[in-house]
Amino acid sequence: MSVASATRSIEQADTSAVALGSVRGSGVAILAIGGLIAFVWLFWQWFMRQGNISINQLDDWGHAFAVPAITGYLLYQRRERLLNAVARPFWPGLVPLLLGIACYVFFIIGVPTHMFQGFALVLAIFGFVLLVFGPKVMHAAIMPIAFLLFAVTISERIMIAITFQLQLIASQGGYLLLTIFGFPFGIESVVQGNIISVFDDTGTEHQLNVAEACSGMRMVVAFIALGAAVALSQCKQWWQRVAVVLLSLPVAIGLNVVRVAVLGFLTVLVDPELASGEAHMIIGTLLLVPGLGLFLLLVWILNRVVSDEPSEPEPDATKAKAVKA
């Protein structure tokens, strides 16, 4: 075979590889669309159940509706990497895909658990993308896919074990804030477990049940999801992302304490019915705004404290190199 023939063969092979690997390739596109339809059909019941949970417990798991949108935005941010990556079927992706489907069926028939069904769903998504588009595309998409875990409702058994401790923290912290800032308004408070008794200037008692008003763990999940979204969308370095996600836990707990204190003030100063109403949901939603501001401020500080830009060489060193050359 001549050199020219060999060169043409290599070029043809490269062209066919690009056509197969391109996201716009017809074979990959057909496989992706067909797999997506089958995927939605297989997990449709879980999607419906999660939607019902989020609607019926809007104050607890309403953030699950925003998770797919945030995932889409994260993928959009990585669109250049995704479009430039060589996409081709990667058959080892069948392993996590089939494992995710098997786990999903097991947690329906064997040990019915909505939470683990959701985790199996995310694992299957990971396997599906890896199978259809390959490792290079997965490298750009893995973090947005992992973010989908925040849409899964945590098991009630785990919630009860963790939430009570967080409720005690919220009760003690809310009591402290009410004691400090309530003094000028003649507000006194007493805390017993997760119940805060607030007394106005006439001595009337109003009980604030933190277990009902502020279900700590659920707010923490929403704020950690918000912190993770900021970390993935705004941070460029992995250590910055880890720092923001780790700090999202104390930020969430702190804002939950603020929510309890604000609810106590509103109960005494505005309307006693707020203690047993839906004000905690409104206050928690409003606190997402300062929470977002805190996360963005944290990212700004991290970017200013450590600069990843290479420093320019000193003029003397540059001249010395030029003389040696």
Asked if 165 contacts 185 with a C-beta cutoff of 8 angstroms, the reply is: no
Look at 30 and 255; give whichever has higher pLDDT.
Answer: 255
Render pLDDT for 12-30 as a digit per residue (tens, 0 to 9). 444 434 433 444 456 666 7
120 in any annotated domain: yes
pLDDT band, residue 3 (cuts 50/70/90): very low
Report the C-alpha gap between 35 and 23 in whole angstroms: 15
Report the C-alpha gap between 295 and 248 in whole angstroms: 8
Q: Which of 194-198, 210-214, 225-229, 302-306 has the lowest mean pLDDT?
A: 210-214
pLDDT band, residue 5 (cuts 50/70/90): low
The DSSP 8-state label assigned to residue 193 in this structure reads T
Q: What pTM did the predictor assign?
A: 0.74
Write down the pLDDT at residue 311.
46
CA Rg, the chain, in Å? Answer: 27
Write down the pLDDT at residue 214.
53
**Which residue in 178, 173, 262, 253 sits closest to 216, CA to CA?**
253
Q: Write phi, then psi, for 43 (nearest 5 degrees).
A: -105, 15
92 in any annotated domain: yes
Q: Find all residues with CB under 8 Å of 144, minimum gap 6, and list them.
A: 71, 74, 75, 78, 232
**Residue 136 and residue 163 in one domain:** no
Highest mean pLDDT among 24-38, 48-62, 125-139, 236-250: 125-139
Asked if 102 contacts 119 with a C-beta cutoff of 8 angstroms, the reply is: no
Arithmetic mean of pLDDT, 290-305: 84
Render pLDDT for 36-61 as a digit per residue (tens, 0 to 9). 788 888 899 999 998 888 887 766 67
**Residue 145 and residue 181 in one domain:** no
**Residue 283 and residue 163 in one domain:** yes
Write down the pLDDT at residue 107.
94
**Residue 18 and residue 147 in one domain:** yes
pLDDT band, residue 67 (cuts 50/70/90): very high
Write down the pLDDT at residue 182.
77
Highest mean pLDDT among 21-25, 95-99, 208-212: 95-99
**Residue 213 and residue 125 in one domain:** no
Asked if 144 contacts 233 with a C-beta cutoff of 8 angstroms, the reply is: no
324 in any annotated domain: no
Which amino acid, one-letter code, is at 272? P
| Percent of the chain residues topping a pLDDT of 90 | 21
- Single out the residue in 109, 130, 153 at which a domain terminates: 153
- Single out the residue in 134, 153, 172 at which a domain terminates: 153
**Residue 143 and residue 215 in one domain:** no
**Residue 93 and residue 226 in one domain:** no
315 in any annotated domain: no
**Residue 116 and residue 166 in one domain:** no
313 in any annotated domain: no
Arithmetic mean of pLDDT, 236-250: 86
- Single out the residue in 153, 172, 205 at which a domain terminates: 153
Supply 243's token pair: 């720092």
Write down the pLDDT at residue 251.
85
**Residue 140 and residue 220 in one domain:** no
65 in any annotated domain: yes
Supply 6's token pair: 């060999």
Write down the pLDDT at residue 115.
92
Report the number of distinct structural domains present in the chain.
Answer: 2
26 in any annotated domain: yes
Render pLDDT for 149-198 as a digit per residue (tens, 0 to 9). 999 988 877 777 776 677 778 788 888 888 888 777 777 888 877 778 78
Supply 91's token pair: 């058959």
Write down the pLDDT at residue 21.
40
SS3 string, 70-132, reads HHHHHHHHCHHHHHHCCCCCCHHHHHHHHHHHHHHHHHHHCCCCHHHHHHHHHHHHHHHHHHH
38 in any annotated domain: yes
Q: Which domain holds residue 294?
A: 157-305
**Which residue in 68, 77, 72 sits closest to 118, CA to CA?**
68
Helical spans, DSSP H, in 201-237: 210-213, 216-234
**Residue 146 and residue 165 in one domain:** no
Asked if 106 contacts 121 with a C-beta cutoff of 8 angstroms, the reply is: no
Write down the pLDDT at residue 215.
53
pLDDT band, residue 273 (cuts 50/70/90): low
**Residue 123 and residue 57 in one domain:** yes
**Residue 43 and residue 90 in one domain:** yes
